[in-house]
Amino acid sequence: MRTDEIRALGQQLAELGAILLNLADELDSLARLPESGWIPEAGTPAGAVRRAHYVGNHPLPCGLVFIALCGTACFPFYGRDRAGKIARHPCCEKCLLHAC
């Protein structure tokens, strides 16, 4: 490989890196917790009823999910919250104790 080819490849990789960083920032801005602090559990089979769990004001991030006060892994964002933005889910009984 010639030096000009290596330089061109390096420039393309740098441009791709910048695009990926911008995309990550954009996705991060979309993945916000609902103001209510209630989010659905992760790992529920498709079509099954998800329980809503309380993550509070400062949830513990764990990779692509948050850990609720009851210890359940929850999705970071979804439909509508109790103020009408999030689809209603049955609430976890343990979380109801922490949230009140």
50 and 13 in one domain? no
- Rounded mean pLDDT, 47-75: 79
Residue pair 41/50 in contact (Cβ under 8 Å)? The answer is: yes
- pLDDT per position as a tens digit, 8-38: 999 999 999 999 998 887 776 666 677 778 8
26 and 40 in one domain? no
DSSP code of residue 91: B
Could you tell me the residue range of the domain that residue 62 belongs to? Answer: 34-99
User: And the tokens for 88?
Assistant: 């209603």
8 and 46 in one domain? no
Of the ranges 11-15, 27-31, 69-73, 96-100, the best mean pLDDT one: 11-15
64 and 15 in one domain? no
What are the φ/ψ torsions at residue 66 (nearest 5 degrees)? -110, 155
* pLDDT of amino acid 41: 83
* pLDDT of amino acid 100: 58
40 and 10 in one domain? no
**What is the reported pTM?**
0.55
Residue pair 74/65 in contact (Cβ under 8 Å)? The answer is: yes
- pLDDT per position as a tens digit, 37-49: 888 888 777 777 7
Strand-pair partners of 61: 66
Percent of the chain scoring above 70 in pLDDT: 74
Number of domains present in the structure of the chain: 2
74 and 47 in one domain? yes
Task: Count other Cβ atoms within 10 Å, centred on residue 76.
Answer: 18
* pLDDT of amino acid 86: 53
42 and 63 in one domain? yes
